[in-house]
């Protein structure tokens, strides 16, 4: 689908994508396609150089049929973030207009534009799966020629990042009657086989043997057995980085039941698990020299005569007892045992990813992932990666006052819901009780794992957030 060639204005393409800035920097070869009138077109306003504005013009010569101009704006508008968004917009146009033979003049944009383009193209042209009975028309993939001194590895890396995001989006979109703990595990196994990862699926009986009383309590009301999914990517001989995902395939809230409007959409409560699997898709394609272990606690949170209840006291795998004050604070219970299990691999860092609290939505809105950490250096490397991917993160305070409240219970070591105010932090602090001294990042993606409207890089709905940031962080990890 992607080809590499050198830019030659006399070569013929159906469409060529060109960045256009100041009128006096127009390439002569490009100008020739328009009879020397590009400057005049800019001055007359028929061709916009405004940031991210797209103008499509047929050429005057009739060889290359048309040029798709992207306005570059001012000099400092050429950020990775902007270029990615512009390429996303262009990609959507390629798809919606059914263009089949497109060349991209990468040098008219920025260094490293090839990788940015393929990442944006994969993300922007993605469509969520549907279950509509009318058969989908097969669309022919376009040929996209990347013009310039382009490395195949950059093309592949960009596409790998985008594909990882799309795996996460697809899984998050799937309804809970189709994506259960069981089918999520099946998908993980399929992914592991495809990329030659070691994997292990722990069944309910094994979890019972290990004493995973927290995860099992959440599953208690369900007719579908839970799964603990473990994937191992080995690219080096070293202690692994553990990435732990909340895989609640549906969250009714349990007996602390959600209001009817709060239940709709809870098929997406495995967004953290989806991030882990999307990340492993990317790792499988990019194969960095790192070790990563992915762990997913998968179950739904249902109600029945067997379900766990408020006031129950349960015992987690690490022996800590938990007073359940709210069965809707189930994600932290799932993570508790998944994190304890992760620690058996003696990881050098633990990163948990979860749609954990509505509180993070209140605090940070829908564009920023809320974080907690016990290690500032680790947080800085996340921040750095997130600046490159433009997936925003913000560190919340992990003060002792929060930890004290998580440990407050008359009857147990911990309670799972100390109250409404600051509850994003309580959620993270609860998970922190199972992490111990291992460097740790907690990523609450409840606000960012889905979006209410489409943007240049994809449709509304699941975003696959943090797949690229974690992949980037792992790729640039300092030993």
CB of 116 or CB of 329, closer to ligand BES: 329
State how far the Cα of 431 lies from the Cα of 342, in Å rounded to an integer: 12
Contact between 176 and 267 (Cβ < 8 Å): yes
Q: Which is nearer to ligand BES, 83 or 176 (CB)?
A: 176
Active site residue 258: yes
Report the residue closest to ligand BES, judged by CB.
358
What are the residues whose beta carbons fall under 8 Å from the beta carbon of 405, sequence distance 6 or more? 418, 419, 426, 429
Binder to Zn ion among 154, 269, 444, 450 (CB under 5 A)? 269
Chain Cα centroid distance, residue 457: 12
267 binds ligand BES (CB under 6 A): no
For ligand BES, the closer of residues 251 and 456 by Cβ is 251
What is the closest distance, in whole angstroms, from the C-beta atom of residue 420 to ligand BES in the complex?
7
Among 297, 331, 418, 432, binds Zn ion (CB under 5 A): 331
Maximum distance among all Cα pairs of the chain, rounded to whole angstroms: 83
Annotated binding site: 246, 251, 269, 328, 330
* Residue from 119, 154, 269, 281 in contact with ligand BES (CB under 6 A): 269
Residue span binding Zn ion (CB under 5 A) among the ranges 5-13, 48-56, 207-215, 248-256 = 248-256
Q: What DSSP line would sit under 195-243, residue for residue?
A: HT-EEEEE-HHHHHHHT-HHHHHHHTT-SS--EEEEEEEESSSSPPEEE
Q: Are 60 and 33 in contact (CB under 8 A)?
A: yes
Is 228 within 8 Å of 297 (Cβ atoms)? yes
How distant, in Å, are the alpha carbons of 270, 353, 354, 449 from that of 445? 11, 7, 6, 5
Annotated catalytic, 193?
no
Of residues 294 through 353, those in contact with ligand BES by CB under 6 A are 326, 328-331
From 115, 320, 332, 468, the catalytic residue: 332
Q: What is the 3-state secondary structure (H, E, C) of 347-397?
A: CCEEEEEECCCCHHHHHHCCCEEEEEECCHHHHHHHHHHHHHHCCEEEECC
Give how many residues touch Zn ion by CB under 5 A.
4
Given ligand BES, Zn ion, Mn ion, none, residue 70, with its beta carbon under 5 to 8 Å by kind, binds none
Applying CB under 6 A, among 204, 320, 423, 468 the residue interacting with ligand BES is 423
- Which lies closer to Zn ion via its Cβ, residue 164 or residue 254? 254
Cα distance between residue 157 and residue 287, in whole Å: 10
- Tabulate helix, strand, coil % of the chain (nearest 5): 40, 20, 40
With contacts defined by CB under 5 A, name the span among 179-187, 330-338, 389-397, 431-439 that binds Mn ion.
Answer: 330-338
> Among 297, 280, 129, which Cα is nearest to 191's?
280
Residues in contact with Mn ion, shown as a per-residue x/- string from 232 to 251 under the rule CB under 5 A? -------------------x
Q: Could you give the 3-state DSSP secondary structure of residue 103? A: strand
Site string for ligand BES, 358-377 (x = CB under 6 A): xx------------------
Which residues are CB-neighbours of 152 under 8 A, at least 6 positions away? 4
* Set 39, 66, 95, 258: catalytic member: 258
Binding mask 110-149 for Mn ion (x = CB under 5 A): ----------------------------------------
- Residue 38: CB atoms within 10 Å: 23
* Least distance from Mn ion to the Cβ atom of residue 355, Å: 9
Residue nearest to Mn ion as judged by C-beta position? 328
**Residues near 205 by beta carbon (within 8 Å), at least 6 away in sequence:** none
Number of residues that bind Mn ion (CB under 5 A): 3
Our finding on whether 300 is near Zn ion (CB under 5 A) is: no
Answer for which of 125, 282, 357, 438 binds ligand BES (CB under 6 A) is 357
**Distance between start and end Cα atoms, the chain:** 36
Stretch of 74-82, 93-101, 327-335, 383-391 contacting Mn ion, by CB under 5 A: 327-335
Q: Are 188 and 201 in contact (CB under 8 A)?
A: yes
Instruction: Decide whether 247 or 253 has the Cβ nearer to ligand BES.
Output: 253
* Distance of closest approach, residue 333 Cβ to ligand BES, in angstroms: 10
Contacts of 130 (CB under 8 A, 6+ apart): none
Q: Does 355 bind ligand BES (CB under 6 A)?
A: yes
Binding-site positions for Mn(2+) read 246, 251, 269, 328, 330
Could you write out the DSSP letters of every residue in 23-58?
Answer: GGG--HHHHHHTTT-HHHHHHHTSS--STT-EEEEE
Between strands 291-301 and 143-147, the pairing is unpaired
State the residues that interact with ligand BES by CB under 6 A.
Answer: 251, 253, 269, 326, 328-331, 355-359, 417, 423, 446
Binding site for Mn ion (CB under 5 A): 251, 328, 330
Which chain residues interact with Zn ion by CB under 5 A?
248, 251, 269, 331
Kindly list the catalytic residues.
258, 332
């Amino acid at each position: 689908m992607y080809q590499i060639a050198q830019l030659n204005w006399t070569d013929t393409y159906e469409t060529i994508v060109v960045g256009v800035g100041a009128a006096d920097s127009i390439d002569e070869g490009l100008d020739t396609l328009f009879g020397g009138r590009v400057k005049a077109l800019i001055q007359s306003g028929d061709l916009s150089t405004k940031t991210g504005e797209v103008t499509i013009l047929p050429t005057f010569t009739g060889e290359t049929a048309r040029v798709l101009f992207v306005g570059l704006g001012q000099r400092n508008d050429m950020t990775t973030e902007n270029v990615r968004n512009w390429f996303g917009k262009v990609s959507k146009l390629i798809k919606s207009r059914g263009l089949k033979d497109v060349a991209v003049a990468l040098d008219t944009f920025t260094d490293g534009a090839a990788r940015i383009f393929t990442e944006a193209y994969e993300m922007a042209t993605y469509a969520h799966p549907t279950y509509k009975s009318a058969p989908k028309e097969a669309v022919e993939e376009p040929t996209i020629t990347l013009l310039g001194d382009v490395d195949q590895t950059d093309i592949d890396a960009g596409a790998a990042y985008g594909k990882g995001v799309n795996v996460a989006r697809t899984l998050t979109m799937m309804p809970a009657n189709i994506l259960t703990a069981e089918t999520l595990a099946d998908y993980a196994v399929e992914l592991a086989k495809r990329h030659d990862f070691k994997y292990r699926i722990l069944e309910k009986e094994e979890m019972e043997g290990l004493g995973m009383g927290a995860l099992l309590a959440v599953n208690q009301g369900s007719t579908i057995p839970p799964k603990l999914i473990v994937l191992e990517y080995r690219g080096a001989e070293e202690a692994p980085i553990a990435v732990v995902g909340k895989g609640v395939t549906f969250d009714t809230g349990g007996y602390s039941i959600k209001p009817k409007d709060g239940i709709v959409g809870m098929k997406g409560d495995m967004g953290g698990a989806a991030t882990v699997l999307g990340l492993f898709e990317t790792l499988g394609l990019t194969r960095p020299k790192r070790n990563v272990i992915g762990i997913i606690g998968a179950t739904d949170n249902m109600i029945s005569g067997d379900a766990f209840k408020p006031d129950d006291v349960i015992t987690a795998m690490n022996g800590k007892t938990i007073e359940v004050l709210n069965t809707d604070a189930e994600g932290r219970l799932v993570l508790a045992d998944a994190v304890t299990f992760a620690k058996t691999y003696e990881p050098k860092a633990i990163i948990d990813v979860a749609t954990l609290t509505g509180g993070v939505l209140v605090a940070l809105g829908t564009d920023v992932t809320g974080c907690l950490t016990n290690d500032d250096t680790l947080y800085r490397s996340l921040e750095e990666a997130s600046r490159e991917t433009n997936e925003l993160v913000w560190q919340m305070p992990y003060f002792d006052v929060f930890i004290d409240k998580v440990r407050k219970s008359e009857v147990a070591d911990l309670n799972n819901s100390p109250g409404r105010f600051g509850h994003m932090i309580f959620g993270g602090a609860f998970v922190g009780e199972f992490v111990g001294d291992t460097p740790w990042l907690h990523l609450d993606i409840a606000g960012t794992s889905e979006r209410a409207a489409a943007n240049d890089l994809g449709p509304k709905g699941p975003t696959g957030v943090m797949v690229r940031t974690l992949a980037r962080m792992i790729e640039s990890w300092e030993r």
